[in-house]
Amino acid sequence: MTTLVQTTTSDIARAWVLLETLTDPEIPVVTLRELGILRDVREGTHGLEVVITPTYSGCPAMGQIEDDVKALLQAHGIQGHVVTQLAPAWTTDWMTGEAREKLRAYGIAPPHSTACEPQGSAQVVKFAARQTPNQVVNCPQCGSANTTETSHFGSTACKALYRCLACMEPFDYFKPY
């Protein structure tokens, strides 16, 4: 007797449709797919696998995301499990333009693109960026570049708290690492 779970292509297709609607537990206006967190749905050695990559290692929301994925699949009778893939590391380039616009509309400044950073030394570059957060973060309310970081850890560890010096509104900045 074997308990091998057969995964069919229709299961994978159904899982994609379901998971496309799953939003970030901290930012209910964007989906995990749009953020680039949901990487793949595939047939693994133990049935259906959902591959997710955290926006940065140690992101506390990942446990919640894993639970959400499992609960959603289970509710629709799909057997599957979650694989957290750390390499390649998530980059802001995986976030869709639509997700950036939704973040802005929601009052969160979207992360800067890393596209112009040199290739091959990602770790060094990220470390350097962490030490010198000199990039201009535009206010999501009025667009002003006259903003200042008031707390490196905002409402969640994944965001920094900023204040706009033009309209005086505080806002979250989605950190690009």
Distance CA 144, CA 132 (A): 21
Q: Does 144 bind Zn ion (CB under 5 A)?
A: yes
Which residue in the set 85, 141, 157, 163 belongs to the binding site for Zn ion (CB under 5 A)?
A: 141
Question: Which of 3-11, 22-30, 61-69, 162-170 is the region at the interface with Zn ion (rule: CB under 5 A)?
Answer: 162-170
> How many chain residues touch Zn ion (CB under 5 A)?
7
Helix (H) or strand (E) holding 52: strand 47-52
Q: Does 164 bind Zn ion (CB under 5 A)?
A: yes
Q: Does 167 bind Zn ion (CB under 5 A)?
A: yes
Q: Is 43 helix (H, G, I), strand (E, B) or coil?
A: strand
Q: Does 84 bind Zn ion (CB under 5 A)?
A: no
Q: What is the DSSP string of 64-122?
A: HHHHHHHHHHHHTT--EEEEE--SSPP-GGGS-HHHHHHHHHHTEEPPPP-TTSPTT-H
Closest distance of CB 163 from Zn ion, Å: 9
Closest distance of CB 104 from Zn ion, Å: 12
Judged by beta carbon, residue 71 or residue 105, the one nearer Zn ion is 105
Distance CA 119, CA 116 (A): 9
Question: Which of 36-44, 46-54, 97-105, 142-150 is the region at the interface with Zn ion (rule: CB under 5 A)?
Answer: 142-150
Helix (H) or strand (E) holding 16: helix 9-19
Q: Does 104 bind Zn ion (CB under 5 A)?
A: no
Closest distance of CB 152 from Zn ion, Å: 20
- Nearest residue to 103 via CA among 158, 39, 38: 158
Q: Does 163 bind Zn ion (CB under 5 A)?
A: no
Count of C-beta atoms within a 10 Å radius of residue 136: 9
Q: In what order do the strands lie in the sheet with 147-151?
A: 108-109, 170-174, 159-164, 147-151
Q: Does 17 bind Zn ion (CB under 5 A)?
A: no
Judged by beta carbon, residue 66 or residue 169, the one nearer Zn ion is 169
Question: Which of 9-17, 58-66, 112-120, 139-147 is the region at the interface with Zn ion (rule: CB under 5 A)?
Answer: 139-147
Start-to-end Cα distance in the chain: 47
The binding site for Zn ion (CB under 5 A) comprises 139, 141-142, 144, 164, 166-167
